[in-house]
Structure 1
Amino acid sequence: MLQRRPLPSVVRFNQLLGQLAKLKHYSAVLSLNRQMGLIGIASDAYTLNIIINCYCHLNRMGFGLSVLGQFFKLGLQSSVTTFTTLIHGFVLHNRVAEAARLFSKMVGRGHCQPNVFTFNTLVKGFCMIGNNRAAIQLLGKMEERGCEPDIVTYNTVIDSLCKDTLVDQALNLFTEMITRGIAPNVVTYTSLIQGVCNIGQWKEAKRLLNEMVSKNIFPDVRTFTVLVDALCKEGMIVEAKSVVEMMIQRHIEPDISTYNSLMDGYCLRGEMDEAKQVFDLMVSKGSMVNVRSCNILINGFCKHKKIDEANKVFQEMRCMGLVPNTITFTTLIDGFCKVGRIKDAQKLFCEMQGCGQLPNVNTYAGILDGLCNNQQLSKALELLRELESNKWELNIVIYTIIIDGLCKAGEMVSAIDVFSGLSSKGVQPDVRTYTIMISGFCKRGLLSEAENLLRGMEEKGCSPNDCTYNTIMRFYQ
Structure 2
Amino acid sequence: MGTRKVIPAAFSKAFSSSSSASSAVVGKLSHSSSKSFVPNPHSLHHFLTKQCKSGAITLDQALHFFDYMSRMLPPPPVSSFNHLLGALAKIQRHDHVISFYQRLNSVGVFPDIRTLNILLNCCCKMGLASDGFLVLGKILRSGYTPTSATFSTLIKGLCVDNKIGEATRVFKNMSVFGCQPDVVTYGSIIDGLCKHGMVKKAKQLFSQMKGRGISPGVVVYTSLLHGFCFGGNLEEAKGLFIEMVDGRVQPNVVTFTVLIDGLCKQQKLQEANELLDLMIQRGQCPNTVTYTTLIDAPCKQGRVEEAYGLLDLMFQRGHQPGTVTYNTLIDVLCKQGRMEEVNRVIGLMIQRGKHPDTVTYTTLIDALCKDVRLDKANKLLHLMIQRNEHPNTVTYNTLINALCKQRRLEEADRLLQWMIQKCQHPDIVTYNTMIDALCKEGRMEEATRLLDLMIERGQHPNTITYTTLVNALCKAMRMEEANALFELMIQKGQHPDTVTYTVMINGLCKIGLFDRASDLLREMEEKGCAPNVVTFNTFIYCFSQKNETAKVVEFLLKMKQKNLSPDTTTIRIVSELLSNLKDETHQELLDKLPAFSLKELPSR
Same fold (TM over 0.5): yes
Partner in structure 1 of residue 160 of structure 2? 92
Matched ranges for 1:385-404 at <5 A: 387=454, 392-402=459-469
Contact 1:228–1:258, Cα closer than 8 Å, also in 2: yes
* Cα 1:183–1:267 shift into 2, 3 Å: same
* Cα 1:406–1:309 shift into 2, 3 Å: farther
Partner in structure 2 of residue 77 of structure 1? 145
183-192 or 219-228, larger mean C-alpha shift:
183-192
- Say whether residues 1:217 and 2:284 are aligned partners: yes
Q: Report 1 or 2 for greater relative contact order, CA contacts < 8 Å, sequence distance ≥ 6.
A: 1
- Which amino acid counterpart does residue 254 of structure 2 have in structure 1? V
Matched ranges for 1:20-169 at <5 A: 20-61=88-129, 63-107=131-175, 109=176, 111-169=178-236
Partner in structure 1 of residue 246 of structure 2? 179
Partner in structure 2 of residue 304 of structure 1? 371
Contact 1:434–1:457, Cα closer than 8 Å, also in 2: yes
- Which amino acid counterpart does residue 434 of structure 2 have in structure 1? I
- Say whether residues 1:258 and 2:356 are aligned partners: no
CA shift at 1:476, angstroms? 5.1
Partner in structure 2 of residue 231 of structure 1? 298
- Count matched residues: 475
CA shift at 1:374, angstroms? 4.1
Contact 2:253–2:284, Cα closer than 8 Å, also in 1: yes
Contact 2:498–2:530, Cα closer than 8 Å, also in 1: yes
State the alpha-carbon separation in 2 of the partners of residues 473 and 171 from structure 1: 54
Identity of aligned residues (%): 35
Partner in structure 1 of residue 11 of structure 2? none
State the alpha-carbon separation in 2 of the partners of residues 62 and 387 from structure 1: 34
State the alpha-carbon separation in 2 of the partners of residues 253 and 471 from structure 1: 57
TM-score (norm 1): 0.85
1:110-131 deviation per Cα after TM superposition (whole angstroms, max 9, x unaligned): 5222111111111121122222
SS in 2 for 1:2: helix
State the alpha-carbon separation in 2 of the partners of residues 243 and 473 from structure 1: 54
- What is the RMSD of the two structures over their aligned residues, measured on CA atoms? 3.8
CA shift at 1:156, angstroms? 1.1
Decide which structure has the larger Cα Rg and report it: 2
* Cα 1:357–1:390 shift into 2, 3 Å: closer
Contact 1:279–1:293, Cα closer than 8 Å, also in 2: no
Contact 2:322–2:354, Cα closer than 8 Å, also in 1: no
- Unaligned runs of at least 5 residues, structure 2: 1-68, 534-563, 576-604
- Say whether residues 1:379 and 2:422 are aligned partners: no
Contact 1:439–1:472, Cα closer than 8 Å, also in 2: no
SS in 2 for 1:181: coil
1:328-354 deviation per Cα after TM superposition (whole angstroms, max 9, x unaligned): 222221121122211111111111111
TM-score (norm 2): 0.68
CA shift at 1:412, angstroms? 9.4
Contact 2:130–2:158, Cα closer than 8 Å, also in 1: no
- Say whether residues 1:14 and 2:82 are aligned partners: yes
Match of 1:2 among 37, 45, 70: 70
CA shift at 1:253, angstroms? 0.7
* Cα 1:78–1:182 shift into 2, 3 Å: same
CA shift at 1:48, angstroms? 2.3
Partner in structure 2 of residue 319 of structure 1? 386
CA shift at 1:461, angstroms? 5.4
* Cα 1:256–1:435 shift into 2, 3 Å: farther
SS in 2 for 1:346: helix
CA shift at 1:46, angstroms? 1.9
- Say whether residues 1:469 and 2:567 are aligned partners: yes
Contact 2:199–2:227, Cα closer than 8 Å, also in 1: yes
* Cα 1:469–1:276 shift into 2, 3 Å: farther
CA shift at 1:247, angstroms? 1.4
Contact 2:374–2:402, Cα closer than 8 Å, also in 1: yes
- Which amino acid counterpart does residue 40 of structure 1 have in structure 2? G
1:188-209 deviation per Cα after TM superposition (whole angstroms, max 9, x unaligned): 2222222222232333333333
Partner in structure 2 of residue 331 of structure 1? 398
State the alpha-carbon separation in 1 of the partners of residues 510 and 281 from structure 2: 65
Contact 2:225–2:258, Cα closer than 8 Å, also in 1: yes
Contact 2:197–2:227, Cα closer than 8 Å, also in 1: yes
State the alpha-carbon separation in 2 of the partners of residues 290 and 268 from structure 1: 18
Match of 1:248 among 279, 300, 315: 315
* Cα 1:303–1:365 shift into 2, 3 Å: farther
1:284-330 deviation per Cα after TM superposition (whole angstroms, max 9, x unaligned): 54453222222222222223322122112211111111222222222
CA shift at 1:56, angstroms? 2.5
State the alpha-carbon separation in 2 of the partners of residues 163 and 366 from structure 1: 34
State the alpha-carbon separation in 1 of the partners of residues 521 and 565 from structure 2: 12
SS in 2 for 1:41: coil
435-444 or 134-143, larger mean C-alpha shift:
435-444
- Which amino acid counterpart does residue 29 of structure 1 have in structure 2? V
Contact 1:276–1:297, Cα closer than 8 Å, also in 2: no
- Which amino acid counterpart does residue 99 of structure 1 have in structure 2? A
- Which amino acid counterpart does residue 278 of structure 1 have in structure 2? V
Partner in structure 1 of residue 258 of structure 2? 191
- Which amino acid counterpart does residue 125 of structure 1 have in structure 2? G
Matched ranges for 1:335-350 at <5 A: 335-350=402-417
378-387 or 90-99, larger mean C-alpha shift:
378-387
State the alpha-carbon separation in 2 of the partners of residues 472 and 419 from structure 1: 30
CA shift at 1:106, angstroms? 0.7
Match of 2:341 among 266, 274, 288: 274
- Which amino acid counterpart does residue 211 of structure 1 have in structure 2? L
Match of 1:356 among 390, 400, 423: 423
Structure 1 ranges of 4+ moved more than 6 A: 388-391, 431-444, 449-459, 465-468
1:154-194 deviation per Cα after TM superposition (whole angstroms, max 9, x unaligned): 11121133223232332232233233332323222222222
CA shift at 1:235, angstroms? 2.1
Partner in structure 1 of residue 27 of structure 2? none
1:115-156 deviation per Cα after TM superposition (whole angstroms, max 9, x unaligned): 111111111211222222221121112123221111111111
CA shift at 1:379, angstroms? 3.2
Contact 2:129–2:161, Cα closer than 8 Å, also in 1: no
CA shift at 1:413, angstroms? 5.8
SS in 2 for 1:363: helix
State the alpha-carbon separation in 2 of the partners of residues 224 and 437 from structure 1: 53
- Unaligned runs of at least 5 residues, structure 1: none
State the alpha-carbon separation in 2 of the partners of residues 266 and 452 from structure 1: 52
